[in-house]
């Protein structure tokens, strides 16, 4: 009887090992699609002194709490003539940060009259420091870092935007 108990035990252990090796991996891999730009409107920036057109951009628009919080997070880049326009329901000082934002930005703060009020230039990727508007504003335009210099944007410059229906 002892001999058959050993065989039974070996058979049981062998079956267990075989069963475990055949068992499928139950870990689930979560695939995430890259976040891509969605054109939701156009925005034109005008020169301060002459009111002539400096540049026109395709814009994505942020108007909800979720869109305000995520902004351009989790994106690898943005084209030169693209931007994100934040439209706030209130006029006040606003603060931004670069948490989970993978590329540098120029942040342009715009007042309720659609005039450029202040800048935060060359905001660093992943930086969670507060980037304040310094003055009460209602709109914010995020563009690739360096473009506000390249386009020679200035305080008092005017913008106009149109939403795509």
Summarised one tens digit per residue, pLDDT across range 53-83 is 999 999 999 999 999 999 999 999 999 999 9
pLDDT for 10 equals 58
Three-class SS of residue 42?
Answer: strand
pLDDT for 89 equals 97
- Phi and psi, residue 83, nearest 5°: -160, 170
pLDDT for 93 equals 97
C-alpha radius of gyration, the chain, whole number: 27
91 falls within a domain: yes
Report the C-alpha gap between 105 and 92 in whole angstroms.
22
Distances in Å between the Cα of 34 and the Cα atoms of 38, 60, 69, 72, 74 are 12, 16, 18, 12, 8
Identify the band that residue 35 occupies on the pLDDT scale cut at 50, 70 and 90: confident
129 falls within a domain: yes
Report the C-alpha gap between 46 and 144 in whole angstroms.
18
The mean pLDDT value of the chain amounts to 88
13 falls within a domain: no
146 falls within a domain: yes
Summarised one tens digit per residue, pLDDT across range 123-152 is 999 999 999 999 999 999 999 999 999 999
Number of domains the chain is built from: 1
3 falls within a domain: no
Summarised one tens digit per residue, pLDDT across range 94-128 is 999 999 999 999 999 999 999 999 999 999 999 99
1 falls within a domain: no
Containing structural domain, residue 65: 41-163
17 falls within a domain: no
CATH of the domain at 127: 2.60.120.1140
pLDDT for 50 equals 83
47 falls within a domain: yes
Give this prediction's pTM: 0.79
């Amino acid at each position: 009887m002892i001999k058959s108990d050993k065989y039974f035990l070996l058979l049981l252990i062998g079956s267990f090992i075989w069963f475990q090796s055949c068992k499928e991996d139950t870990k689930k891999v979560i695939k995430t699609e890259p976040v891509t730009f969605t054109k939701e409107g156009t925005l034109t920036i005008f020169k301060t002194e002459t009111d002539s057109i400096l540049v026109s951009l395709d814009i994505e628009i942020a108007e909800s709490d979720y869109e305000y919080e995520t902004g351009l997070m989790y994106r690898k880049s943005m084209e030169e003539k693209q931007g994100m326009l934040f439209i706030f329901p209130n006029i006040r000082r606003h603060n931004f940060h670069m948490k989970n934002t993978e590329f540098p930005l120029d942040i342009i703060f715009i007042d309720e009259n659609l005039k450029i009020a202040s800048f935060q230039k060359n905001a660093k990727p992943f930086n969670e420091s507060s980037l304040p508007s310094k003055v009460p504003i209602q709109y914010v335009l995020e563009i690739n870092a360096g473009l506000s210099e390249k386009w020679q944007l200035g305080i008092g410059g005017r913008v106009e935007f149109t939403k795509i229906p």
